[in-house]
Amino acid sequence: MKILKKHIEHKNQGGIVVVSLEKEDDMYHLYNIINNGDRITSSTVRAVIHESNSGSTTKQRMKITLKISVEYITFDTDSCSLHIKGKCCEENEYVKIGQYHTIDIELNQTFTVEKECWDLVHLKILEDACDSTNTAEIAAVMMQDGLANICIVGNTMTLVKCKIEKHLPKKRQSNEIYMKARNKFFDEVYLAVTRCINFDHIKVLIIASPGYVKDDFVTFMSTKSAKLNDNYYSMHKSKIIKLHSSSGYKKSLDEILGSDEISSQLVNFKAVDETKALKRFYDMLGKRISVFSYFVIIIHIILLKVHKKIGCVMVTIKYY
């Protein structure tokens, strides 16, 4: 996230921040910063109705700049975008004050966030989002025969950048046909990896699968790279880690990040530390379920007084 302008009053902590989102994690940070009642100013597209002198009307989609008071915000993880709904709170040529509009926030879009009070929590989130050193990421290729999920694990979220599914014939029917189909599948995965993963931005690439699929794919990568006379594989093979997983689905990535095998190799990765903490919670819950109760709570500043007695605080944005 890049801050283009920042003006916050020292007296009441109210003010504006003009930002631009640079990566997917920034979208999640923004989702946690914006609250109901905040004001967002951004360019947006709206269907505007024009009425002629004869009384006929035409509808035209126009790009305009609107300022709305936030009433509802949703985070679409598939498209990695925010949908912010609210009432127009500033006079506009095309939209009356009080009319509803939804602003879609996407990557590399510049907009203004205005709050009556920027508290310490929001300022801390903003600071972390703008910290250029806090960008360590893990890439993962979760595989099984005929299925591959290419994921990027950031500090706050995991995104599936590409999913490849391909029907493979059974081995016993014809080994030659099977190997031809499998190599074609590996070729599609290889191209997706080169397209979706920027090794300049990641610390490690995990290739995981049941059985020997991962080993065969790494061998295929090496052969393919040599055949094309490029150094894509040779330059980055030191970042590749092969691991066993129960399947090629995204959910198996949680099992890997929580395992002792990977935690010893990936130190100071936020995603790994959080997955281990959640695993410890589930293990404790399974052994001593009688000592747990479920509550909907509000955490007050009083927790600071007893923090030495708390090993780890986990907060979820959803409950059941």
Summarised one tens digit per residue, pLDDT across range 40-68 is 999 999 888 777 777 778 888 889 999 99
pLDDT above 50 (res 232): yes
pLDDT above 50 (res 240): yes
Do residues 112 and 42 touch, judged by C-beta distance below 8 A? yes
Nearest-CA neighbor of 16 among 24, 25, 8, 28? 8
> Which DSSP category does 303 fall into?
G
> Which DSSP category does 237 fall into?
G
Question: Residue 68: what residue type?
Answer: I
Q: Which two tokens stand for residue 247?
A: 């399947």
pLDDT value of residue 128? 78
Record: fold of 2-129: SH3 type barrels. (2.30.30)
Residues 30 and 22: their CA atoms lie apart, in Å, by 12
pTM tops 0.75:
no
3-class DSSP state for residue 172? Answer: coil
Summarised one tens digit per residue, pLDDT across range 16-38 is 999 998 887 888 888 889 999 99
Beta-bridge partners for 211: none
Summarised one tens digit per residue, pLDDT across range 243-267 is 999 999 988 888 887 776 666 666 5
Residues in the chain: 320
- Edge to edge, the sheet with strand 81-88 lists 2-8, 15-20, 110-115, 39-51, 57-76, 81-88, 100-105
Summarised one tens digit per residue, pLDDT across range 285-304 is 777 655 555 554 444 445 55
Beta-bridge partners for 71: none
Percent of the chain with pLDDT over 70: 81
pLDDT value of residue 214? 93
- In this chain, the answer to whether the domains covering 2-129 and 138-279 adopt an identical fold is no
Between the CA atoms of 290, 291, 296 and 301, what dihedral angle is there, to the nearest 10 degrees? 180
> CB within 8 A of 163, min separation 6: which ones?
147, 148, 149, 150
Q: Which two tokens stand for residue 45?
A: 């597209």
**Residue ranges of the domains in the chain?**
2-129, 138-279
Do residues 16 and 143 touch, judged by C-beta distance below 8 A? no
Do residues 110 and 99 touch, judged by C-beta distance below 8 A? no
Q: What burial letters (b/e) apply to 225-235, b meaning 16+ CB within 10 Å? A: beeeeeeebee
Most confident of 141-150, 164-173, 247-256: 141-150
Q: Which two tokens stand for residue 202?
A: 């990641």
Residues 179 and 185: their CA atoms lie apart, in Å, by 10
pLDDT value of residue 301? 45
- Architecture in CATH for domain 138-279: 2-Layer Sandwich (3.30)
Question: Residue 274: what residue type?
Answer: E
Residue 216 burial (CB < 10 Å; 0-12/13-18/19+)?
middle
Question: Residue 172: what residue type?
Answer: R
> Which DSSP category does 146 fall into?
T
